[in-house]
Structure 1
């Protein structure tokens, strides 16, 4: 995870700054990733190259989930995230029948 979490090109489109230390990233994994209700690795040949998550909204918006993803920059432009999103959405709808919609916010500067 440190490979993409410390990459400034990757973090440019994320809500976090690049991680500079393994300790800080380990804290993030412990505090955010492990307790997250739906967070999965994106793997290629059994190696993690990114992550995808669906966060549940609250209150009257519980029927919607927000999708987020991150991918190591060396794998950009290869259709990997497109396939990961297809698989994740199908799986999350099976696991979370209360969801009616999965949405994602986009950064207008992220041309892809």
Structure 2
């Protein structure tokens, strides 16, 4: 059976129940710098204050329902030529190609909407093999290992650096 198409859209208040499925799941947030949401109220405030107003925080949707989130954080000043991608998906949707499709959509849309953007990068812990596969299948190139790069969750961590350059986008005819 063929999987329904993946779409990206702005968050809506009505996404709260779907959002709670992954936002409270420790396994989904295992490699995230942000911890899980501890209450419905916290999640609701996040959707209202950040999800609905942020131009590059999008709901990953299957058949119109939010099954995950994807975001870009654009660099500032001299770093404005690049952005960092992040994403998360409800566990029941893992292994179905949804994250890869969402990353491809985000990359295509970002380079189209921001013509001065030249690079999108993803930072992935070595233990997060699934996320490495997502980026590789979406066309990202592994650049190398950044040793002791971030300290969070009471530990200094290594990260693989992945990038997708604007010149690698397929040419539109």
- Look up the match of 1:69: 87
Q: Which sections of structure 1, spanning at least 5 residues, go unmatched?
A: none
Q: 1:44-99, CA deviations, whole angstroms, 9 ceiling, x for partnerless residues?
A: 11111001111110121100011111100111111111111111100111111110
Match of 1:15 in 2: 33
User: How many angstroms does 1:32 deviate by?
Assistant: 2.6
**Residue of structure 1 equivalent to 2:109:** 91
What TM-score does the superposition give when structure 1 sets the normalisation length?
0.92
Question: Larger helix proportion, structure 1 or 2?
Answer: 1
Query: What CA RMSD, in Å, does the superposition of the two structures yield over aligned residues?
Result: 1.2
**1:52 and 2:52 aligned:** no
1-structure distance, mates of 2:50, 2:65: 21
- Tell me which residue corresponds to 1:78: 96
Structure (1/2) with the larger strand percentage: 2
Question: 1:37–1:55: 8 Å Cα contact kept in structure 2?
Answer: no
Q: Is 1:25 aligned to 2:43, yes or no?
A: yes
Bigger Cα Rg: 2
The corresponding residue for 2:10 is: none
SS of 1:93's equivalent? helix
Q: Secondary structure at the match of 2:117?
A: coil
- Normalising by structure 2, we get a TM-score of 0.61
Give the equivalent residue in structure 2 for 1:2. 20
